[in-house]
Chains A and B, each alone.
Chain A
Amino acid sequence: MIAALLLLIPFLTALVLVAARPAQARPIALVSSLASLAVVLYAWIGYSGGMVIHYDLDWVNAWGLRFVVGYDGIGLLMVILTGVVFPFIIGAGYGQAVDRPAQFNALLLFTQAFLFLVFQAQNALLFYIGYELTLIPMFFLLLLWGGEGRRAITMRFFIYTLFGGLALLFGIVYLLTQGNGNGDFTALAQLSLPANTQVWLFWALFLAFAIKLPIFPFHSWQPGTYYMAPLQGTMVLGAVLLKMGLYGVYKLVFPIVPAGVEHWRTTVIVLALIGAVYGGIIAFRQNDFKRLVAFSSLSHVGVMCAGLFAWNAYGISGSFYQAFAHAILVVSMFYIVGAVQERMGTTDLGAMGGLKGPAPRLAALFLLVVVNAIALPFTQSFVGEWLMFAGLWQVDGWLSFFALTTIVLGAIYVLYTYQRVMLGPDHANAALKDAGTRDHLYLVPLIATTLILGVYPGPILDLLDAPVQQLLSSLSVH
């Protein structure tokens, strides 16, 4: 029931929005996403550990495709993340003037439905189907509502991601031909392929996720796309879509090609950290607020990927904890970008300054978001980062050191940005509006979440603990 609701609520609402094109598209979409959130919270309350399978139906068994949906703790965390973030993403539309809002919101809801499918699929092909389907609404969001250069950038984003997707498909088909043709994750994990096969198969499976995250050197599509995308589209990309990469690694790479992971994981960690440091340095050099946040996202993702490939309890839990924190952070950061743009009429940092004068409350809210962005203690990001550094430390102290530099870099560019926007030379018009009810309604819950989960991370860590332990113990068997 829960799975059906999660898949159908957004999907059917989106269909209605496309077909009927009502004037109140945005409120309808918002209500739909809130309904999904209610279902998600209900699922969370009812969750008592282990793997929950909601449906286990035959589809086309002959090719390994079965409709198996459910979740373990990490899957549920991803479902929660999707459920929590989407009301905010749709709500962010209230500050934006979007033409054809019905279609726009319908595409957002389609994305949500497909994401719920991805995070609940327990069959590799079903996962792949959801994974590829998310591309289509994104393609149209970028193509029709994107900014300058959207035609070329959209195609690049699309083909880049699709290339990874087809590599993944190839990997899955290969796995199916090796086993008895059952594509369920549980069956695939039993395969234990020869080590030299795993070494190359690792890249077939991982490439899609490396591009989706993205990690260095597969990142070249990312900054341009984030910058060009409409604000809400960027939120979807940064907050949820890239988490499919982390989740996919956990679901499809770790249990199935452990020897391949063992062989490549230092390489991946190093690449991810190169990307993280590089992203941080480039972010510092940006003169555009939106671009800066895009590069900071690149930096964060690099650390998350490195943490994941630390391949121990600290690293994996930290990575997923940070995935959640990062989603909240991305949404609030981009909301601030939007709010500032609404007031200053630009995202160019050089033309900003002194916004704190006319808008002190917005400045305060921004500061609270910044605190999370630089992973200060008692924020959500701190918990995630700390766990990841601990995980990387177990692998090698130096890796942890390089990961830590991203925090320093992060502090530099985020605080510098804060200074350039809010303080500094006075470019702001004294008549500018301060943060209103809408901004508070939006940002206060997000900030509250980061602070509460920063002080008391228990509820999320409880979800992560069991699956991570199970994964690691199954690996030690191999």
Chain B
Amino acid sequence: MHPCNNFYQAYRYTEMSILVLLSVLGVVLLYLGLFNNRGAIAGVSIAGLLAAFVLIAANWHLESPLFNGIILFDTYARSYSLVMIVVTVLLFLFGIDYYARVKENVAEHYALMVFSLIGGLLISSYNNLVVLFLGIEILSIPLYVLAGGKRDSFRSGEAAFKYFLQGSYASAFLLMGLALIYGATASFDLATIEAFSTANAGGQHLIFLLGLFLTLAGLAFKVAAVPFHFWSPDVYEGAPTLITAFMSTVVKTAAFAAFYRLIADLQLPSAVETMLVALTICTLFLGNIVALRQTQFKRLMAYSSIAHTGFLLLAFLGTDARTPDVLFYYLGTYSVATVGLFIVLTLAKRAALGDEHIRIFRGLFRSNPWIAVAALLMLLSLAGFPLTAGFVAKYRVFMLSLANGYLWTTVFAVVMAVVGVFYYFLVVREAFTPSEQETRAIPVAPLNWLVITICGVAVVVLGVMPGLLRM
């Protein structure tokens, strides 16, 4: 026990109190909705999230295993939790304006996102594969509902159904994989499995190998790695924009946190390594190439999200001590840029009466110069231009994979990065080309303006001073 932590003794299980706090928050939100207290919903949820943030940040040095050690809130878990909470807060701030136009079920949306976030916290802190599975289900099930959030929209329903169906398959894969791993190692405990993998480093333990394959396939589905990506463009397109933003930031971050937590200390059999390389190359290729042909902004972002999955997977190859930090930085900065862009999209889409074609950005620089510049900064960051956070992120990934000897995979990734720049700049080109028609300024609520500004400035600040965002 930490000597100067008398006060916190009562909160020995801080981590648990965070999970409890967030669960209660979700229930309270549902009640607020029940009593039609719409004005308070966003405020209460943001306050609750901030309280969770403070709880995590204030107890940074506590590291107590929970429930017989099946959950471990270590620095890794805390860092990811903080980022996920911050991004959710940004989204909720935007939600104030976004949900002002929605008539019903607003409280349920907030509550489901909070529940999903709890799943995210669980899968970034699990120490036992059962918790991994539980967390993934807690993360996913609210999302199946949320994807269908626009009840009168055909595409939204389609998205929900597609997501649910394919998500169930993935869960089945995952569960089968976990069972096989259990069969091989007789344990769900991460440390035991790691020990097993080290002991069997040379040998080919078939059941274990199969278990890993299936588990990783399940996780690859969650991070939308090719060939497990088919749900992502349709779901991104069909889901309400705020939910799309949530999925492509918080959920993605959580899924990667879980993915890496599993394989971080495993001695991966060479067949699994090969599988990861193949996943990386396929994901990089397909994500970037197909993104080139997209004209709908949400689909473009879906494929760009797949492409970024590819770069993140590249960091998985031949992991070393720097990997967690590299991943963390990448996911954090990617999320910030993505959130801002989705907000800009929503505003532009609203002004264009629901159109999602990238031409709705045309003339943005004329009509809303600052919004256009902020969007430019975020796009530059996603494209990986120097002095933005995205550059640092990509740079570190390349450095990592080169240092671990993946020369040709890195060369391939660099080529794909050029392709990536192209489609982001198609959007930039639209935003900065003057429109033929009279352009009217897109109305931007002050709070939205603030969030966009925060995101736009953050990608530059984090790019110039990358030390600010680390574990």
Contact = CB atoms under 8 A, between A and B. Distances in A.
Contact of A136 (B380, B398, B417): B380
Contact of A177 (B392, B403, B418): B403
A177 B422 contact: no
A416 interface: no
Contacts of A169: 395, 398, 414
A122 to B, nearest CB: 17
B402 A163 contact: no
Interface residues of A, number: 26
A154 interface: yes
A147 B463 CA distance: 34
B399 interface: yes
Interface in B25-52: none
A477 interface: no
Interface string B109-153: 000000000000000000000000000000000000000000000
DSSP class of B's interface residues: helix, strand, loop or mixed? helix
Interface in A245-295: none
Contacts of A158: 421, 425
B433 A133 contact: no
A143 B387 contact: no
A162 B433 contact: no
Given A136-B385, A162-B421, A151 B410 contact: no
B429 A154 contact: yes
B269 interface: no
Interface string B418-437: 10011001101100111000
Contact of B418 (A133, A140, A143, A159): A159
A144 B432 contact: yes
Contacts, number: 65
B377 to A, nearest CB: 11
B418 A166 contact: yes
A88 to B, nearest CB: 27
Contacts of B414: 166-167, 169-170
A132 B418 contact: no
A464 B69 CA distance: 68
B215 to A, nearest CB: 31
B467 interface: yes
A399 B288 CA distance: 43
A163 B425 CA distance: 14
A155 interface: yes
Interface string A157-191: 01100110011011001101100000000000000
Interface in A105-128: 128
The 9 tightest CB contacts between A and B, nearest first, are A129-B386, A177-B403, A170-B414, A177-B402, A132-B386, A163-B418, A173-B398, A166-B414, A173-B399
Given A60-B392, A158-B421, A166-B417, 8 more contacts: A132-B385, A133-B385, A133-B386, A133-B387, A144-B433, A170-B398, A170-B411, A177-B402
27 contacts: A63-B395, A128-B386, A129-B387, A133-B385, A133-B386, A133-B387, A136-B385, A139-B428, A143-B429, A143-B432, A143-B433, A144-B433, A151-B429, A151-B433, A155-B425, A155-B429, A158-B421, A159-B422, A159-B425, A163-B415, A166-B417, A169-B398, A170-B410, A173-B410, A174-B407, A177-B402, A177-B403
